[in-house]
A and B are shown apart, each in its own frame.
Chain A
Amino acid sequence: MEYYMPDIPSSDFLAIFVVSALIILFGMAYAGFFTLVKLKLLKRAFMVAAYGSWLVLVGLMFYLGELLRVEPYTQKVLIGAMVGYLIFPHIVYFLVDRLHERFERKPSESQ
């Protein structure tokens, strides 16, 4: 199977580096706001910031795909992965929360 990787103009390098870094940071912002609101450490209104971060993340991922000149199929896979990432903090939170619920702190269990 032949693979093809198009050249990227050097004028796009900076945008690629910045967008890649922002993807990780907005990914963290989504997970962070989501968890803090769930823990009631932030007001419920901040959930808008969580899902807003996710929307920015999706936009950034689409833009990164454009900058990297990925094929249309790969672009769809990237956005599909972002839908998966929308669910990911919910799953992690659910797992952690259920774990704490199941093994709520008992002094004898620690140490």
Chain B
Amino acid sequence: MQGNKLYQSQELAIKYFTVAIILFGAQLLFGLVAAIQYLYPDFLFNTLDFSIARMLHINALVVWLLYAMIGAVYWLLPDEAGIEVVGIKLANIAFYILTAAVAVVVLVYLFVQVGPGKESTIWFITEGREYIEAPRWADIGIVAVVLVFLYNVYATVMRGRQTGILTVLMADLIALAGLYLAGMFYTDNIAVDQYWWWWVVHLWVEATWEVYVAAVGGYILIKTLNANRKVVEMWLWIEVAMMFGSGILGLGHHYFWIGTPEYWWEIGALFSALEPVPLIGLFVHVLYDWGKERGKGNEIKNVPAFAWLTVETFGNFLGAGVWGFMHTLPQINLYTHGTQWPAAHGHLAFYGAYVAIMISAMYIAVQGKAGLERLKMTKAGWWAISLISVGVLLMTVSLTVAAYTQTMVERGMHGATWEGYFAAQSNMWFLQGIGWRLVTGLAVIVGYGFLVYDLITCPKHQPVEEGETAAAAA
């Protein structure tokens, strides 16, 4: 930012954030449809089938997070490097191409819900890989857009200031983009196919995305708390080392039951168990900074951004740490795999680790766009963070109740048979858990409404504190 004037890159970031928040809404909408279909399987049957609603729910999440991630980089890049992004026109063109491609892919998903699985299906309809179903033409387009993005980042950092945050981001983005290639080729053997597909999914969310979040989190800490840059950057390197150490071979916990050799049980068990360790390190660090800065009169410059960052720390710990460890070891994962356990873990972990920090980054952009020295929390902002956070937490608890029922009835009592599956699906506790998931989902959607309203209007609705009123009157 140059005074109140934004860099062109930051204006582009706002476009990315805008599409991200719209897709966030789409994610919630399709999640709502899928949640209703769990209870009323006839709901929208043959119009929007569960398989499509679920696919759109998850794909919208992945795509909006990627939009927000790219947006956050375009926001901080000129700020950190001290110059306008190199190739900004190309970046703008890439944004419109990507957005048009996403719209076409979603329309195809909606209009071609059933059909034969042929070579042309992979190219034009869907690749059929969970979480990254985009057809191959879109895959190639995504790679082209990401190459433009990487060029923008690298060329800008080479010409501008090279900070620690940018250096970590540069290395991380290469890995993030490169791993996508592992999900682009098709093999006839499903075990081999799944083996490479997990490279994208796991090594994104439990390695490269985590490092990305640490870097952007560091930037947000500098912006909100005036944190010491050198401390933030030095700690960033330590966290990167810890996350890569546990995250990369933690991949093993996805290799338990897909036909890979059994030694993955040992590797997966050991490194999955280590995955919460960096979170403890992060926890000690946050606690240390909070304790050291307490009472020093350092005002938080952007309260909503800081509040969402706090949600990120605790949500990440609970979702990824507690709910992850509950079912990650192979001995118990044998009974929980394919039940609602991964859904319970996934909802809170994604929310805690990624959603919260991306919303935090959006508030940094809101403050920058409005040119405010300080951004306080409005009532709508409090409603948004409370409804969404409590909603997601209770949704996780509801899903855990349903998951426990499945584990006991379907796996424990009936030994993972079809009979067991249907016995669990009609069990009272399972249905109640799924019912409460729907209720909590509605709370999240109301919270989302407050969030959108607050992101648009909060600079105009800044609360005036008592001291400020007195000063203004004097």
Of B238, B273, B288, B294, which is within 8 A of A97 by CB? B288
* A21 surroundings in chain B (CB, below 8 A): 322-323, 325-326
Cβ of A39 under 8 Å from chain B: yes
Q: What is the bound-complex CA distance between A88 and B412, given in angstroms?
A: 37
- Given contacts A14-B404, A21-B326, A24-B325, whether A96 and B288 have CB atoms under 8 Å apart is yes
A11 (CB) vs chain B CBs: closest residue: B412
A70 (CB) vs chain B CBs: closest residue: B331
Q: Interface size (B, Cβ < 8 Å)? A: 46
Task: Give chain B nearest CB distance to A11 CB in angstroms.
Answer: 8
Q: Interface size (A, Cβ < 8 Å)? A: 47
User: What DSSP secondary structure best describes chain A's contact surface?
Assistant: helix
Q: What is the bound-complex CA distance between A34 and B330, given in angstroms?
A: 31
Task: Give chain A nearest CB distance to B474 CB in angstroms.
Answer: 29
Task: Give chain B nearest CB distance to A33 CB in angstroms.
Answer: 10
* B222 surroundings in chain A (CB, below 8 A): 110-111
Q: Mark B306-341, 1 if CB is under 8 A from A, else 0.
A: 000000000001000111011101111011000000
B278 (CB) vs chain A CBs: closest residue: A92
Cβ of B143 under 8 Å from chain A: no
* B329 surroundings in chain A (CB, below 8 A): 20, 68
Q: What is the bound-complex CA distance between A35 and B285, given in angstroms?
A: 9
B262 (CB) vs chain A CBs: closest residue: A3
A-contacting 9-mer, from B174-182, B226-234, B458-466 = B226-234
Task: Give chain A nearest CB distance to B124 CB in angstroms.
Answer: 43
Q: Mark B261-297, 1 if CB is under 8 A from A, else 0.
A: 0110110000001001100110111011001101000
Of A17, A24, A104, which is within 8 A of B327 by CB? A17
Q: Mark A67-94, 1 if CB is under 8 A from B, else 0.
A: 0111000000000010001001100110
B408 (CB) vs chain A CBs: closest residue: A10
Of B234, B285, B291, B322, which is within 8 A of A24 by CB? B322
* A105 surroundings in chain B (CB, below 8 A): 228
Q: Mark B214-231, 1 if CB is under 8 A from A, else 0.
A: 000000001000111111
* A93 surroundings in chain B (CB, below 8 A): 284, 288
In the complex the two chains form, is B231's CB within 8 Å of A5's CB?
Answer: no
B266 (CB) vs chain A CBs: closest residue: A3
In the complex the two chains form, is A103's CB within 8 Å of B234's CB?
Answer: yes
Cβ of A28 under 8 Å from chain B: yes
Cβ of A23 under 8 Å from chain B: yes
- Given contacts A10-B412, A24-B325, A35-B288, whether A88 and B280 have CB atoms under 8 Å apart is yes
In the complex the two chains form, is A5's CB within 8 Å of B317's CB?
Answer: no
Task: Give chain B nearest CB distance to A34 CB in angstroms.
Answer: 8
* A27 surroundings in chain B (CB, below 8 A): 276, 280
Q: What is the bound-complex CA distance between A85 and B281, given in angstroms?
A: 11
In the complex the two chains form, is B230's CB within 8 Å of A92's CB?
Answer: no
B400 (CB) vs chain A CBs: closest residue: A17
In the complex the two chains form, is B283's CB within 8 Å of A17's CB?
Answer: no
- Given contacts A23-B325, A70-B331, whether A111 and B226 have CB atoms under 8 Å apart is yes
Cβ of B413 under 8 Å from chain A: yes
Cβ of B407 under 8 Å from chain A: yes
* B287 surroundings in chain A (CB, below 8 A): 32, 35-36, 39
Q: What is the bound-complex CA distance between A16 and B333, given in angstroms?
A: 11
In the complex the two chains form, is B284's CB within 8 Å of A8's CB?
Answer: no
- Given contacts A110-B222, A110-B229, whether A31 and B280 have CB atoms under 8 Å apart is yes
Q: What is the bound-complex CA distance between A1 and B423, given in angstroms?
A: 37
The 4 closest A-B pairs by CB, nearest first: A10-B412, A39-B291, A103-B230, A68-B331
Task: Contacts A31-B283, A103-B230 known; list 4 others, CB within 8 Å.
Answer: A3-B265, A17-B404, A24-B317, A89-B280
The interface of chain B, by Cβ under 8 A from chain A, is 222, 226-231, 234-235, 238, 262-263, 265-266, 273, 276-277, 280-281, 283-285, 287-288, 291-292, 294, 317, 321-323, 325-327, 329-332, 334-335, 404, 407-408, 411-413
Q: List 14 A-B contacts (CB under 8 A).
A: A5-B331, A5-B334, A10-B411, A13-B404, A13-B408, A14-B404, A17-B404, A20-B325, A20-B332, A92-B280, A99-B231, A99-B235, A102-B230, A103-B234
